[in-house]
């Protein structure tokens, strides 16, 4: 055999045998009459026909200049640490640098949390906070209004029931009953107003 076999030439140039076969099919190799590979001539032809930017080991003259890395803001580093701590994972020490693995882990955690929230919204388990607060306020106001008007609606009925229960000679004035009820209802509503219900 005058030249090299496909396997020998692949080992020489650091490529797979499949890549050498493909180069052979596309005419990027020079072959001897017996079908073996002329190594030196093939090297020259491959160099002439191969785009340096697409080669695995492009010459240094074609290498793109390295971009200057920007410093990572402290807020971003703190956010990574906070996210990892929330999940019970190892967080960077205060003042220490964050590793790429820690930043990647924090990013994956945040993505998972975001997906969980989005899924909960789609399933109807979560509601908009502002909408929920508006609804709570409206329901509380309607409840209060119902209680404020309640004494006027029931005072006369309660006065007659009390008079009947206490005997025929006892009279309970509806106006007085309403006044007493209103005082107690307002006191109860004032005490309930001190309770703050919040969503967060």
- pLDDT by residue (tens digit) across 91-138? 666 555 667 777 777 778 778 878 877 777 777 666 677 888 888 888
pLDDT (tens digit per residue) in 147-180: 889 988 888 888 888 888 887 677 888 888 889 9
pTM score: 0.34
**Residue among 113, 104, 105, 77 nearest 92 (CA):** 77
CA distance 82 to 91: 8
Q: CB 39: neighbour CB atoms within 10 A?
A: 16
Cβ–Cβ under 8 Å, residues 86 and 113: no
Label residue 165 left, alpha or beta by phi (over 0 means left) and psi (-120 to 50 means alpha): alpha
Q: What is the pLDDT of residues 31-85, one digit of tens each?
A: 988 989 999 999 988 888 775 555 555 444 444 555 565 665 666 667 777 777 7
Please determine, for residue 142, whether its predicted confidence score (pLDDT) is greater than 50: yes
Rounded distance between C-alpha atoms, residue 178 and residue 173, angstroms: 9
Q: 188 vs 51, which has greater pLDDT? A: 188
Q: What's the pLDDT at 137? A: 85
Give me the pLDDT at residue 183, please. Answer: 92
Q: What is the pLDDT of residue 60?
A: 46
């Amino acid at each position: 055999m005058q030249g090299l076999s496909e396997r020998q030439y692949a080992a020489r140039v650091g490529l797979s045998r499949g890549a050498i076969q493909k180069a052979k099919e596309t005419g990027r190799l020079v072959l001897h009459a017996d079908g073996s590979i002329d190594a030196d001539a093939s090297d020259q032809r491959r160099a002439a026909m191969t785009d340096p930017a697409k080669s695995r080991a492009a010459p240094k003259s074609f290498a793109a200049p390295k971009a200057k890395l920007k410093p990572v803001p402290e807020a971003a580093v703190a956010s990574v640490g906070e996210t990892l701590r929330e999940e019970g994972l190892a967080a960077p020490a205060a003042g220490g640098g964050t590793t790429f693995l820690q930043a990647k882990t924090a990013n994956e955690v945040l993505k998972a949390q975001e997906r969980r929230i989005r899924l909960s919204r789609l399933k109807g388990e979560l509601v908009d906070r502002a909408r929920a607060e508006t609804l709570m306020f409206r329901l509380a106001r309607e409840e209060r209004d119902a209680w404020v008007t309640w004494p006027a609606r029931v005072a006369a009925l309660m006065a007659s029931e009390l008079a009947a229960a206490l005997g025929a000679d006892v009279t309970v004035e509806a106006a007085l009953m309403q006044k007493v009820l209103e005082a107690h209802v307002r006191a109860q509503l004032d005490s309930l107003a001190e309770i703050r219900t919040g969503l967060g």
